[in-house]
Amino acid sequence: MQANNPLSHIRVLNMGIGWAGRVASMLLAEQGAEVIEIVRPSRTSHPSDPVIDRSKRLLELDLKKSNGLKKVTILAKSADVIIENMRPGVVERLGISYEHLGGDESGLVYVSLPGFAAGDPRRDEAAWEGSIAGATGVHTDLSTLGRLIGGAPIYTGIPMASAYGGILGAVAAGLGYLGYLKTGLGQKFEVPLADAVMSAMALLIAELDGAPSHYDFPALDKSISKIMMPILRDVRENLSKEHVVRIQEYLNSNARPGFNTYVCKDGKLLFVVASDHIAHTRSFLQVVGVYDLLLAEGMTAGSPYSESKAGNNLNSAHSMTTFWRSRMITLIAERIRHKSAKEWEHLLRDANVPASVVQTTHEWLQDPVLLEAGVTLDLETSGLGVIRQPNRYLNIHGSKICSPDLSSASWIEGEVDWLSEKKEPPKLSANLSSKPILTGVKVLDLSNIIAGPAAGRTLAEFGADVIRIDAPTPFAGPYATMWFGVDVNQGKRAIILDLKTEKGKKILSSLVKQSDVVLHNFLDSSAERIGISYEQLREIKPDIISCQISAWGGVDGGAYKDDPSFDPVLQAASGIMARYGSPERPALHGIASCVDYMTGFLAVNGIVQSLLAKNRGKGGAFVQTSLAMGAQLVQFPFMVTHSNFKPGNEVSGQEAQGVSIGQRIYRLADGWAYLGCRPEEEGRLASSLSVEGATIYSFSKLLAEMRFDEVQRKISHLAGASIIKTETLAQIRSKRTRDKGEPKSNWMNSGSFRLKRGDHPSGYQATICEPTWVRPERFSIAELRPAPRPGQHTLEILKEISRSNFESEEDVLREGAALEGWKVLKHYLPL
């Protein structure tokens, strides 16, 4: 623990026993916080323990005993941050709740991670990982086929609740401590794990009524998606396997040639994302050797924003006729078969095309390039020797600040006390308003697609003034810029600058001088070319906080750092697709809901921690993270290998329904539900349900004849058992949507998740998630404006900048250094 670490001398006590709290405290320990984690005597060991315990001090205590409770209470009263994810009511009963420890006046930051929010009828139920996944559409809507025609829900081993709850818990802790430094008061946060999962499902649950069908995923004609698929869903029970295969073949025929999996010479699979992108599509087809051929045959290379219905535009996959789509896939597949998967991966990445061999997680962990880059790390432990695992998820450094090296966990023996000195509390502020915590913080967001923009939107949720800066001409198509932006560009103002011009760079320089944070996802060379490398930004404003999100970068950069990539490519590379499907038939684990949002929240965590450090006199900082780090965090239980363990034996595949009798999706007489209990309760569970023979078959047979209410009643006496109904995103949207015109209720205690429906600049009625995932008790969350059109606020922002850089706003617009819109964008969502 060093004074120049971002979170040095901040005392964190993790009282929770679940993964979510342990992940949150791990992310604080990685940046120098002193973390003491309470370990219950009965904790079952897991291969991921050495990873999520690292850089912490562990203390075994039994809180059911007076001596253990006394020790944890003493620690809690002298902590700066407390994290807990016990069942609701437990901390109150034990006398270690926020109120028991002094409340706001104590200066304590208290982060609670319940399964479901206050006001949710499931609030008091045992909230298992699978329970929360079932309640948030994860089991039904991540699978494309499942989302369209229903069928048996699919279990996923990805711990969405713990991973997203953990990262948002860490963000809440940082925000709370920043608020404490500003006001001298403590703060309690609730991060319901179900809402945390919904933060990653925001694009999947969003809906624009009447928008063109090509913005659906998959893009199907409305007569198919709105009429035929619901009919198939209603008769799903009567569909044979052959029927389902034929439906899948139909969906495959609608696949985008540049968003697809191809078989290579060595039999391995190559996954490519080069669709509706002027540069990526052209480079992909040129490297494969079919670009000129396709043009000669009659295709054109038009704009992805073209509203032409000719059906032959290489850069507009949604508008292609079935003939051209099939022709492209056939030609590409033929060429791909002539080289090995690794050869194609190298060739395509060298041409800046996002691509990867489909791998398992074990193969990912064995990659020497990732180890050299600091994406992965070999860490020595006392009991298991060297363990290969993810490196620090964030790298923060500056002239007065530096992330610490990681270390293995240590156990506290004997008397326990904090090692770091307790700092003098700040003076109570005279202005104790309830405004959002980041009010007054100014952010420039030059990022695109999802991860970076999601970070910018999240900062806006907490009150930051975020200005989105777009280039004069987009390379990515409207699905990536405008449709994704419906969610991730909320709450921002928008300006278009040509940073290839001197006047554009001067305007940017003026904006940087007025800002606290610059966020981008440019490669190093591109960032330097337009003047936003960290060194260049520091010359403009020495205490600036810059955040760079790369695709593959690790702590030490690495050979892959300048390779482009997207969420699905990292899913393919890191083992997510192979686990959700199989190595032979990989399956996409949702769109953006796996890696992108996780990476965006990692960036927010780094920015908040840097703002906190800056407030403590440590100056500006350079924050770095990547999609690769996000891909590792979202599947943290499997990102570990050593002499006694390697990932790969976990439950996987599109027919998976759970890991055991007592952690499984079951079909009841009135619908699907997730049944969860402690391992030691499985025998009592069988007795309570009168199951003969504790097998999956016997449980399934009996439960299929029972209704939900009956099962719930029979297991209610088992403390760790619960049954939670499986819900689709459509069901959640219908139940939890409010009209914008309705009076706002206090969503802090009105249940899990909420969506709002109302007019949108696109011209359609929009239904979008409200930010209910981080719930501060005292500070408010900002009401986000709908995502603006590119350049919508150009003139307004120019008027706020010093005139020393240009004579008038009109001159700047006339010369093209700034624009008020994209010429290629005729409609908010191109038709």
Q: Which residues of 603-621 are buried (b: 16+ CB within 10 A; e: fewer)?
A: bbbbbbbbbbbbebebbbb
- Are 203 and 482 within 8 A, CB to CB? no
pLDDT of residue 316: 95
Strands 545-550 and 517-520: parallel
Does this model's pTM top 0.85? My answer is yes
- In angstroms, the CA 83 to CA 826 distance is 49
Q: How far, CA to CA in Å, does 160 sit from each of 51, 594, 655?
A: 17, 8, 19
CB 635 within 8 A of CB 669: no
First to last CA, the chain: 56
Structure tokens at 78: 């002298």
pLDDT at 255: 85
- To which H or E segment does residue 282 belong? helix 278-288
* DSSP class per residue in 720-767: T-EEEE---HHHHHHHSEEETTSPPP-GGGS-S--EEEEE-TTSSEEE
Exposure pattern of 351-384 as b/e (b: 16+ CB <10 Å)? Answer: bbbbbbbbbbbebbbebeebbebbbbbebebeeb
User: Using CA atoms, how far apart are residues 743 and 557, in angstroms rounded to an integer?
Assistant: 49
**Residue 59 phi, psi dihedral angles, 5° rounding:** -130, 115
CB 172 within 8 A of CB 110: no
Reported residue count of the chain is: 831
As given in the structure block, the two tokens for residue 264 are 């290579």
pLDDT of res. 673? 98
In our burial notation (b when 16+ CB lie closer than 10 A, e otherwise), range 153-185 reads bbbbbbbbbbbbbbbbbbbbbbbbbbbbbbbbb
- HSE-CB for 693 with a 13 A CA cutoff: 7
Q: What are phi and psi of 198, to 5 degrees?
A: -65, -25
In angstroms, rounded to a whole number, what is the distance separating the alpha carbons of residues 688 and 752? 30
Give the model confidence (pLDDT) of 789-801 as tens digits.
Answer: 999 999 999 999 8
Tokens representing residue 566 in the block? 């997207």
Strand pairing class (385-390; 376-381): antiparallel
The number of beta carbons lying within 10 Å of the beta carbon of residue 810 is 11
Query: Which structure tokens are listed for 387?
Result: 């363990």
Please, which residues bridge with residue 632 across strands? none
Rounded-to-integer distance, Cα 102 and Cα 743, Å: 33
Backbone φ, ψ for residue 714 (5° rounding): -70, -25
What is the model's pLDDT at position 746? 57
Which residues, listed in sequence order, are joined to residue 387 by a DSSP beta bridge?
A: 379
What local confidence, expressed as pLDDT, does residue 146 receive?
Answer: 80
Residue 416: DSSP 8-state: -
d(CA 477, CA 474): 7
Residue whose entry in the numeric block shows the structure tokens 């901390």: 91
C-alpha span between 450 and 484 (Å, rounded): 7
CA–CA–CA angle 558, 564, 565 (5° rounding): 105
Amino acid at 782: A
Sign of the dihedral through C-alpha 174, 175, 176, 179: positive
Please identify which residue in the block is written with the tokens 């998820």. Answer: 393
What does the alpha-carbon distance between residue 609 and residue 65 come to, in Å, rounded to a whole number?
Answer: 36
Q: Which residue has the tokens 């029970």?
A: 237
Q: Please give the structure tokens belonging to residue 650.
A: 């976990």
Strand pairing of 492-497 and 818-819?
A: antiparallel
Q: Is 134 within 8 Å of 153 (Cβ atoms)?
A: yes
Question: What count of other Cβ atoms lies within 10 Å of the Cβ of residue 549?
Answer: 28
Residue 218 exposed, middle or buried by CB count within 10 Å (0-12, 13-18, 19+):
buried
pLDDT at residue number 223? 65
DSSP run (H or E) holding 483: none
Cis status, amide bond into 542, omega within 30 of 0:
no
CB-based contacts of 382, cutoff 8 Å, min separation 6? 408
Q: Which amino acid is at 304?
A: P
What strands, in cross-sheet order, belong to the sheet with 737-739? Answer: 207-209, 765-769, 755-759, 737-739
Rounded Cα distance between 293 and 311, Å, is: 17
DSSP string, 561-620: TT----HHHHHHHHTHHHHHS-SSS-----SSTTTHHHHHHHHHHHHHHHHHHHHTT---
Nearest to 59 by CA among 80, 81, 34, 86: 34
Sign of the dihedral defined by the CA atoms of residues 351, 353, 359, 365, in that order: positive
How much is the pLDDT for 806? 67
Token pair for 281:
């599509």
Q: Are strands 465-470 and 442-445 parallel, antiparallel or unpaired?
A: parallel
Helix and strand element counts for the chain (H, E)? 35, 29
What are the two backbone dihedrals, phi and then psi, of residue 517, each rounded to the nearest 5 degrees? -135, 140
Check if the beta carbon of residue 215 is closer than 8 Å to that of residue 807: no
The residues, ordered by sequence, that sit 6+ positions from 500 with a Cβ below 8 Å of its Cβ are 530
What does the angle CA 501 – CA 506 – CA 509 come to, to the nearest 5 degrees?
Answer: 130
Picking from 775, 781, 177, the residue whose alpha carbon sits closest to that of residue 463 is: 781
Give the C-alpha separation, 134 to 314, whole Å: 39
DSSP structure string for 625-666: EEHHHHHHHHTGGGS-BBTTB-S--S--STT--EEETTEEEE
Q: Are 344 and 274 in contact (CB under 8 A)?
A: no
C-alpha triplet 183, 538, 791: angle, nearest 5°: 80
Residue ranges of the chain whose pLDDT lies below 50: none
So what's the pLDDT on residue 662?
96
Residues pairing with 660 in the sheet: 663
Q: d(Cα 28, Cα 23) in Å, to the nearest integer?
A: 9
